[in-house]
Amino acid sequence: MIHTWGAPRVIDDTQLRGLARAVRRGRLGQRHETDGPWDVIEHRVLDPKANVTASLGRSDWTDWSRSGELLFARDGRLYRLVQRNGDFLQPEELIDLRQLRFQPPSMPREAVVWSGRSPRYSGDTLVEKVPRLAICSNLGKDIGPLLLHCDEEWNVLGVSGAGTIDDVKMRAEKNYPGVGSRWIAANVAVEEALKYYDEATEGLKCLFCGKRPFDVSGMVGSPAKAICRECVEEFYRVFQEPDVEGEST
């Protein structure tokens, strides 16, 4: 299988305190790299007139130190760039961290013992039980049904879930033996749930496709004028397509 990649495009170009940060998106096959990253960050130093006085090229992070030196990281090493008489000297390597590795910490006790704020699990086993449970079917399609762990007043302390209602009930039965015979159907119709949801979100829907927030991966705007991420991406794609004369639509 052969893949071809176009030139990376700049998706973020911000300036802060004389530093310009450009994030380029696109596989780096055109740079003769194997399994290169999707995003490449490049930093440049600008003067007050936005002229480039130094280019750091690809770098992972950069910032000014309190003494006015420019620090930046690249490929696991930390560098310092000193300015003298208006010109930047060659970068000086401060430390090489490439041989260091993260060490997994031991599991703290509070991570496996219920604190009273939310249900705690050790694997699939519930460490501490809560007084009330409820099963909720999700209105969206991003996740399946949820098992709500509640206190005496039905305030949700935590949430777990599974692929189907039956799977959720099996998980609850495992940790609460006998609970299967005590479920009470709320008999809430989807229309009632949607009405309640719309009231809680002030009727927030995408102005173009009419979808609610739980049907999309993101939404911006106000309840009166909102647009979802999918519509934004679709409009962008359409505007990038050439028309019959070879120009952008």
In this structure, which long-range contacts are made by residues 156-159, counting pairs with CB atoms below 8 Å and at least 24 apart in sequence?
A: 157/117, 157/118, 157/119, 157/130, 158/117, 158/118, 158/119, 158/130
pLDDT above 80 for 15 = no
pLDDT bin (cut points 50, 70, 90) of residue 134 is very high
Q: Answer for the pair 218, 228: CB distance below 8 angstroms, yes or no.
A: yes
In this structure, what are the phi and psi dihedrals at residue 85, rounded to the nearest 5 degrees? Answer: 55, 35
d(CA 47, CA 146): 54
Q: How far apart (Å, rounded) are the C-alpha atoms in residues 166 and 238?
A: 43
119 has pLDDT over 70: no
The model carries a pTM of 0.41
Q: Which helix (H) or strand (E) is 170 found in, with range?
A: helix 165-175
Tens digit of each residue's pLDDT (9 = 90 or more) over 151-193: 889 888 888 878 888 988 988 888 888 988 899 988 888 889 8
Do residues 171 and 190 lie in contact, with contact meaning Cβ atoms separated by under 8 Å? no
Q: Which two tokens stand for residue 9?
A: 């495009």
64-90 pLDDT, tens per residue?
887 778 888 988 899 988 877 777 778
Average pLDDT over residues 44-61: 81
